[in-house]
């Protein structure tokens, strides 16, 4: 198994690792989607022990028959990136491949059977590779008693924001996507999102006031990444509403400055979300139902041997591509 281990100095060491545990299922890694956290790991910005193999979003192909698990050679599978200590589940957070332990930037990996799900019928690898994003998006909307026509503002141009917006539509809410990157505004429109605001050209608060008939949003969701802004979260949210700050992981979130007096004046609730462990199976169901369009998300493909060059590009500008993928 060739594993690409980040040294923390913008360099991968390619390491040969032997198979270790016959109870684990051997997978040929197929498609890998690096995240901003993976890039930060490559740059040495994470407070973890190096070296570490990044990437927690990938699909795979079963590399041998495992009849005891009902898996056949060549079966295409989604990989659940979470590891949970069942005995201490109440008191410990799930760990994540690619952060807490080695990830999937490799040609082959070993993984427990419980972390494997065969592709649902008609799901393509270009969709399945985003299962983790869907899981976190599901969590971002979880516990909201969504009523038809409820307004949800979503701040930040990103894949996670796009998926949250499309899920909100699926749940019959009315999403309002706010971003400065026209690529995401275009993808939102193509995905059926009717309201989207370019915050470089429009007064966001006034526009949301107009869209909602003065009610403002019942919920406001911010994807926290470098470049997103929380400055008008409280202004967009109705009195007594809720603001949710979401990210794919909790280890790499930028500093967020907010005026807490506005949150307290309007009796707003603030909630943080960065783990889709409990919603991964729901994400697979949503993928199977074809409720989210991933058309034109992937705009860069490279082979595994070119991972170093891709990560160097992303180190200069993590937002250079919408969804780069690596074919292993």
Residue 88, number of CB atoms within 10 A of its CB:
8
In CATH terms, is domain 2-130+297-327 a member of 3.90.1150.10?
Answer: no
Closest CA to 117 of 79, 170, 147, 69: 79
Both tokens assigned to 233: 């979260």
In percent, the amount of the chain with pLDDT more than 90 equals 86
Residues 6+ apart with CB under 8 A from 215: 151, 238
Check whether 103 has a pLDDT greater than 80.
yes
How does pLDDT run across 265-303, given as a tens digit for each residue? 999 999 999 999 999 999 999 999 998 999 999 999 999
Rounded mean pLDDT, 248-254: 86
The domain spans of the chain are: 2-130+297-327, 134-273
**DSSP per position, 210-242:** HHTTT--EEEEEEE-SBTB--TTHHHHEEEEEE
Q: What is the pLDDT of residue 87?
A: 56
- Which run of H or of E encompasses 307? helix 307-316
Please tell me the class of the 134-273 domain. Answer: alpha beta
How does pLDDT run across 197-225, given as a tens digit for each residue? 999 999 999 999 999 999 999 999 999 88
- Round the average pLDDT of the chain to a whole number and report it: 93
Q: What is the pLDDT of residue 86?
A: 61
Both tokens assigned to 140: 């971002």
Instruction: Compute the Cα dihedral for 58, 55, 97, 254 and give only its sign.
Output: negative
């Amino acid at each position: 198994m060739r594993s690409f281990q980040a040294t923390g100095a913008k360099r991968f060491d390619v390491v040969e690792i032997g198979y270790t545990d016959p109870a684990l299922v051997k997978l040929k890694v197929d498609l890998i989607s690096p995240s901003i956290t993976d890039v930060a790991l490559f740059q040495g910005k994470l407070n973890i022990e190096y070296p570490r193999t990044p990437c927690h979003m990938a699909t795979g192909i079963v590399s041998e028959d495992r009849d005891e698990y009902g898996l056949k050679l060549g079966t295409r599978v989604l990989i659940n990136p979470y590891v949970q200590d069942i005995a201490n589940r109440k008191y410990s957070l799930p760990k994540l491949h690619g952060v807490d332990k080695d990830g999937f930037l490799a040609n082959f990996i070993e993984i427990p059977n419980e972390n494997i799900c065969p592709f649902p019928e008609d799901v393509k690898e270009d969709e399945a590779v985003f299962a983790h994003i869907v899981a976190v998006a599901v969590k971002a909307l979880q516990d909201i008693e969504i009523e038809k026509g409820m307004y949800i503002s979503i701040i930040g141009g990103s894949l996670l924001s796009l998926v949250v917006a499309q899920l909100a539509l699926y749940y019959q809410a009315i999403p309002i996507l706010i971003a400065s990157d026209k690529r995401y505004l275009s993808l939102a429109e193509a995905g059926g999102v009717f309201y989207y605001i370019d915050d470089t050209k429009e007064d966001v608060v006034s526009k949301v006031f107009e869209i909602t008939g003065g009610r403002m949003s019942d919920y406001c969701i911010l994807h926290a990444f470098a470049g997103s802004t929380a400055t008008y979260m409280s202004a967009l949210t109705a009195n007594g509403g809720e603001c949710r700050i979401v990210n794919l992981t909790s280890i790499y979130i930028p500093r967020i400055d907010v005026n807490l007096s506005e949150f307290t004046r309007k009796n707003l609730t603030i909630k943080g979300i960065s783990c889709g462990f409990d919603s991964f199976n729901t994400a697979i169901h949503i993928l199977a139902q074809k409720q989210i369009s991933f058309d034109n998300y992937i705009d860069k493909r490279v082979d595994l041997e070119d991972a170093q060059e891709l990560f160097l590009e992303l180190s200069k500008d993590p937002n250079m591509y919408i969804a780069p993928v690596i074919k292993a």
